[in-house]
Amino acid sequence: MRQQRQPASPSLLPAKRGALYYLRKDRFLYLLILPGLLYYVVFKYLPMFGIVIAFKDYQPFMGLEGIFSSEWVGLHHFKRFFMSQFSWQLIRNTLLISVLKLFWGFPAPIILALMLNEVRQRRFKKVVQTISYLPHFLSTVIVCGMIRTLTSTDGGLINLVLTLLGQEPIFFLGDTRYFRSILVISDIWQSVGWGSIVYLAAMTGIDTELYEAAEVDGASWLQKMWTITLPGIMPVVSIMLIFRVGNLLSGGFEQILLLYSPMVYSVADLISTYVYREGLVNMKYSFTTAIDLFTSLVAMILVLGTNWLAKKAGQEGIW
Amino acid sequence: MRLKRITRGEWIFRIVNTIVLIGFSLIILIPLWTVVMNSFVSQAEIMRRGVFIFIPEEWNLDAYRLLLGKGSNVYRAYLNTFFIVTVGTALNLVFTITLAYGLSKRYLKGRVFFTGMIFFTMLFNGGMVPNYILVKSLGLLDSLWAVIMPGLVSTWNMFIMRNFFYAIPDSLEEAAFLDGANPIQVLVKIILPLSLPSIATIGLFYAVGHWNSWFGAMLYINTNTRLPMQNILRNIVATTSAAALQDVDTALFETMQSPPPSQAMKAATIIVGTVPILVVYPFIQKYFVKGVMVGSIKG
């Protein structure tokens, strides 16, 4: 064992060796990664083969063999989804809610970071930061529970303020006009402080000489922010944006599942919540797997596309 | 710090900035405050003072007595959560560290293939139903393992961990290799002690993830007594009071003249579910912030 070990210097090895040679030489390393790789094969790749049921007529009672023995139906389930009255509504809700969250939620932590960055009293800055991280540590269940309490018509804080202002109380969670706004606002409430960390870290990395030079030139705080701070954090902004766009079709699933009700399905039902209800509650396995496959493919194209665009625009991609 | 005159505009900006940040902090804190106070409100006080009470006159603990009484499901739920958090996180770390360490060795044949194979799962997955069929076929349904196993390695955390390992100079290991140690010994004796802070960070990510998760348990676990805390929280907070009462101390409930109002029940449940996190929050915050920053660096 000791004679043949030459870590970190592959160039010293003879050029061509068989797979067996390397398997023997690095057998401990392969042993180390084996459990992890097995996990990926079993829990990530096996389900991918399960996707075939999207093209079959699979019923839950058929068990495992049914995946192979069930009848092929081609694109039947895809056609059924796109012909149904739901498909347009689900796609619209999924995109709209994500885009709303992106539009309002993406700039929010950047603005907070810029504001915190201008604070000169360190203690004050630290206190605000610590408070702002707090909601991140509350679980989705708890935050949604708080939203229910705050918006409730008997004793909720928000309705109390409305009554004080002479308005009628509103059942926000059952009202199609307000449901999406609640999702967006609570999303920002929970994530804005935490999201600002990355940008604050990027700001501390900006060369202070730039600011000093700008001051000599008589630049105002606004000019400094606009011409030094913002360009300085642009690479981080672009990476964060790619991740957000990549999650465009999945974000907020748990939040909606905890808050929605049939009253607001028309504005709140996502592709994923629909897949959950129809697939796992109503057991339409093949149909919903087809819908899932469609969404996964679109999400993948979105990530690859944004990454390509970001690189095209001269920013860093995620790979 | 900086010796320069401050313009009028800048003064105004600073004052406005400070006011906005104080307002922002209040928006974060007030909802939390009202939840805490709500949990102590009694039905009688609501009848007397109206529904919204910023500070209760009398501190009524009935909601907590129901939640933490003998017949309550909360203890069992916390035991389940404790099992998922400890066993789950330990397994997460073992699988993540071994995989990340192996893949951090640039001379390992097949490394690019394996990394690509793992990265691909970030872009594409089998979907909800095939995952459910898998968990069911593996016989994991209705057990806590169904919550732990499908999320054994988080690809994101694994890549962060691998980047930590990249940063450790090879020279530290080479001496051990020359002495005939194998990579497993090197990992345990040299690499792990060096990367304890990073491991703590990743471990915390996993632990908080387990602590907060509820959807897996909702999908895979049917028996009420096997549900973790978040699911009990959800039952009490998000459903009607009648359905939620099966989780509290029912015997005590029946003896109560005027049971606590449902909003107090919900608020108290939220507090019971949050206090453990708030107790450790000051200690773990630092690690988290560090982890987020490392994660944001390109791998």
Q: How many CB atoms lie within 10 A of CB B224?
A: 14
Q: Is residue A136 part of a domain?
A: yes
Q: SS3 of A308, please?
A: helix
Chain B contacts in chain A segment 226-245 (CB below 8 A):
236, 239-240
Q: Which of A166-180, A274-288, B83-97, B245-259 has the lowest mean pLDDT?
A: B245-259
- Residue A250: predicted pLDDT: 65
What pLDDT is attached to residue A40?
97
Using the Cβ of B9 and the Cβ atoms of chain A, whether some distance falls under 8 Å is answered with: yes
Whether A179 and A273 share a structural domain:
yes
Show the domain range for A204.
77-312
Alpha-carbon span B256 to B164, nearest angstrom: 57
A279: in domain: yes
Q: Is B297 on the interface with A (CB under 8 A)?
A: no
Instruction: Classify residue A68: in a domain, yes or no.
Output: no
Structural domain count, chain B: 1
At residue B96, the pLDDT reads 96
Contact between A292 and A81 (Cβ < 8 Å):
no
For the purposes of burial, counting CB atoms within 10 Å of the CB of B227, is it exposed (0-12), middle (13-18) or buried (19 or more)? buried
| A308 and A261, same domain (yes or no) | yes
Average pLDDT over residues B195-224: 89
Cβ of A43 within 8 Å of Cβ of B13? The answer is no
For residue B26, being part of any structural domain is answered with no
How far apart (Å, rounded) are the C-alpha atoms in residues A53 and A72?
8
Q: Which residues contact A286 (CB under 8 A, 6 or more apart)?
A: A53, A54, A56, A57, A58, A70, A73, A77
Question: Is residue A8 left, alpha or beta, with left meaning phi > 0 and alpha meaning psi from -120 to 50?
Answer: left
Contacting residues of A for B263, CB less than 8 Å apart: 149, 152, 154-155
Helices (H) and strands (E) in chain A, counts: 18, 0
Contacts of B112 (CB under 8 A, 6+ apart): none
- 3 state SS of A260: coil
Distance from C-alpha of A208 to C-alpha of A214, rounded to nearest angstrom: 10
Is B114 part of a structural domain of the chain? yes
The answer on A238 and A107 residing in a single domain is yes
| Segment 60-79 of chain B within 8 Å of chain A by CB | none
What value does the mean pLDDT of chain B take? 84
Please check whether residues A179 and A275 belong to one and the same domain: yes
The reply to whether A161 and A19 lie within a common domain is no
Mean pLDDT (chain A, rounded):
85
The CATH code of the domain that includes B203 is: 1.10.3720.10
Query: With contact defined as beta carbons under 8 Å apart, do A131 and A193 qualify?
Result: yes
CA A132 to chain B, closest CA, distance in angstroms equals: 7
Contacts of A131 in chain B (CB under 8 A): 25, 28-29
Question: For position A189, which CATH number holds?
Answer: 1.10.3720.10
A272 touches chain B (CB under 8 A): yes
- Mean pLDDT computed over B203-220: 91
Predicted confidence (pLDDT) at residue B4 exceeds the cutoff of 60: no
Residue A62 lies in a domain: no
Counted domains in chain A = 2
Q: How many CB atoms lie within 10 A of CB B220?
A: 22
Eight-class DSSP state of A120: -
Judged by DSSP in three states, A249 sits in coil
Residue A310 contacts residue A241 (beta carbons within 8 Å): yes
Task: Tell me if chain B has a CB within 8 Å of the CB of A43.
Answer: yes
pLDDT of A215-242, one tens digit each? 888 888 888 888 899 998 888 888 888 7
Cβ-based contacts of B132 with chain A (< 8 Å): 279-280
Given B7, B106, B128, which is nearest A276 (Cβ)? B128
Average pLDDT over residues A276-288: 91
Identify whether residues A29 and A129 lie together within a single domain. Answer: no
B279 and chain A in contact, CB less than 8 A:
no
Query: Vertex A11, ends A10 and A14: CA angle to 5°?
Result: 90
- Identity of the amino acid at B211: W
Q: Does B112 touch chain A (CB under 8 A)?
A: no
Contact A178, A170 (CB under 8 A): yes
Average pLDDT over residues A11-24: 69
**Chain A: nearest CA to B79, how far in angstroms?**
18
B104 located within any domain: yes
Q: Say if residue A189's pLDDT is above 90.
A: yes
- State the complex-level ipTM: 0.85
CB contact under 8 A, A134 and B152: no
Whether A165 maps to a domain, the answer reads yes
pLDDT of residue B173: 84
- Least Cα distance to B112 among B153, B162, B170, B150 occurs for B162
The rounded distance, in Å, linking the Cα atoms of A287 and A277 is: 12
d(CA A9, nearest CA chain B) in Å: 7
B124 has a chain A CB within 8 A of its CB: yes
Surface of A (109-128) touching B: CB under 8 A: 112, 115-116, 118-120, 124, 127-128
How far apart, in whole angstroms, are the C-alpha atoms of residue A204 and residue A38? 41
Residue B96 lies in a domain: yes
**Best residue of B14, B43, B129, B296 to probe chain A, by most A CBs closer than 10 Å:** B129
